[in-house]
Chain A
Amino acid sequence: MDETQGIKIVDVRYAYGAKPALVDVSMALRPGRFTALLGPNGAGKSTLVSLLSALFVPQGGRISIFGLDLADDSLSTLAVMGIVFQQQTLDLDLSVRQNMAYFAALHGLAGHRVEQRIEACLTRMGLAARQKEKVRALNSGHRRRLEIARALLHEPRFMLLDEPTVGLDVPARADLVAHVHALCRDEGLTVLWATHLVDEVEAEDDLVVLHEGSVRAQGAVSDVLASCGASDVLGAFQCLTASASSEAAP
């Protein structure tokens, strides 16, 4: 595995029956960078996340993660990925710590290392004091933080987050965006953050705009803005997804 190779998606296709969801999608994510995958609802973001997480198999094209082909060695690639799905995936009747421990077991973590990692990840996400509480007792923002803490447990090098701020209020959303940006900055993680909200994209991020199953623009935010003559991300988004611009939230 060669982390410097980043994530490469080449000519990936996927359709639900006759309805295409992704049409020859190609993109490259630079290692250690926060890449926002921006697109309106129905653009194909969740489909792409499902392909990257090996829940779906591409019907064409290739995906490689740090130089490993996902089709050839999905287990090795999953081992270095931390995934947060759009739909919450916590066990509400188990405690915070029990949810973490279950995930650790699925990734083969055992012994003292589990305790250390759980402690470190919960502390990182500000949940250390709540580890004995049932997940049901947490608010939506804390549940999302817990999902991120859980995704970090096995020390992944690639974080994949699918609309993780859905259902959160504005402060919780801002808090989560800041947390993941800090993770990317501090630990050098490669992050792909799928969203339909333009205000989750920061000036120093990389940006991929996905619309109707195809990539409309990609590169550093400044390059994408320049390519369509926009002064901000909202303007660029509206320009690139003209038929769906009304769905973009400021």
Chain B
Amino acid sequence: MTRPAGIYLTCLIGVLWREALRFMHQRERLIAALVRPLIWLVIFAAGFRSILGISIQPPYATYITYETYIVPGLIAMIQLFNGMQTSLAMVYDREMGSMRILLTAPLPRWYLLFSKLLAGTAISLLQVYAFLIVAELVLVDLPPLGFLAVLPVLLLTGLMLGALGMLLSSAIRQLENFAGIMNFVIFPMFFLSSALYPLWRMQESSDLIYRICIANPFTYAVEALRFALYLEAEPLSLGIVAGAMIVFFGLAVWGYDPRKGLVHRRGKG
């Protein structure tokens, strides 16, 4: 049966509102989301600044500091952590049973999951902008219009990384397994990308690692953000991020299909 469009919108607003309320109750989450990249920016970058030269490369018009170079990577890191945290919350909701309330709403399951994904992405935007404001005030100098230009790309990268988290949440059977999975996802994704070092530097050190980096969708999320911050679009990165988002989300919807049986594993009595 086709349901009126207003019902879809009301549902989306409800899911966004609930995620916002939950986020407001978790002040530690915002603090952690801010402190983690700031530590990288202030401490890690201070150590690496002197030993890692960054040559002029697009989208930068001149030499840049290492702090400036890693800002897009740290933004993507915030979104990656947020995606994993949302995924953890979904596993928790499933364990606690509250996921059933979402999944028994009279709307298509893909739409309910997409609403959840969009809500998680919206939360990541708040975290990213809080970080960007602090970074701009303290250490780096970004083009003012970049704050605006990066917004649609942030939405796309947030959806891609959130969809990855959602896919993982559909596959993880128990909350206890989550920490291990996160370590296997977050750290390789982050380190095997252009977040901390330019890829040409990586290629100089190891061709194999370079190839892994260029196969990592996180690399393209970082590059899409890097260019957007400097008011440029990078079509290849945007295309790969969009494609990865569609694949991850499609697999997540499949993972939550009752025929595959998310709740199937937990049935009793």
Contact = CB atoms under 8 A, between A and B. Distances in A.
Contacts of A16: 264, 267
Given A42-B269, A93-B22, A106-B11, A83 B104 contact: yes
A163 interface: yes
Contacts of B261: 56
B105 interface: yes
A109 B6 CA distance: 9
A50 B18 contact: no
B143 interface: no
B263 interface: yes
A133 interface: no
Contact of A88 (B1, B97, B259): B97
B27 to A, nearest CB: 12
Contacts of B106: 75-76, 78-79, 107-108
A70 to B, nearest CB: 11
Contacts of B15: 105-106
B105 A78 contact: yes
A21 B266 CA distance: 13
B264 A56 contact: yes
Contacts of A108: 3-4, 6-8, 10-11, 106-107
Contacts of B107: 75, 106, 108
A109 B83 CA distance: 29
A43 interface: yes
A107 B112 CA distance: 11
B258 A85 contact: no
Interface string A98-138: 10011111111110000000000000000000000000000
B6 A106 contact: no
Contacts of A104: 14
A75 B112 CA distance: 12
Do most interface residues of chain B lie in helix, strand or loop, or is the interface mixed? Answer: helix
Contacts of B105: 78, 106-107
Nearest to B101: A89
A42 B102 CA distance: 26
Interface in A54-70: 54-57
Q: By CB atoms of chain A within 10 A, which of B96, B106, B258 has the most?
A: B106
Contacts of A88: 96-97
A16 B263 CA distance: 11
Top-7 shortest CB links A-B = A105-B14, A108-B7, A87-B97, A106-B105, A79-B106, A46-B269, A78-B106
Interface of A: 16, 21, 39, 41-47, 50, 53-57, 73, 75-76, 78-79, 81, 83, 85-91, 93-94, 98, 101-110, 163
27 contacts: A16-B264, A41-B269, A42-B268, A46-B269, A47-B268, A47-B269, A53-B100, A55-B100, A55-B263, A56-B261, A56-B264, A79-B106, A83-B100, A86-B269, A87-B100, A89-B101, A91-B98, A94-B21, A98-B21, A101-B17, A102-B18, A104-B14, A105-B11, A107-B105, A108-B10, A108-B11, A163-B269
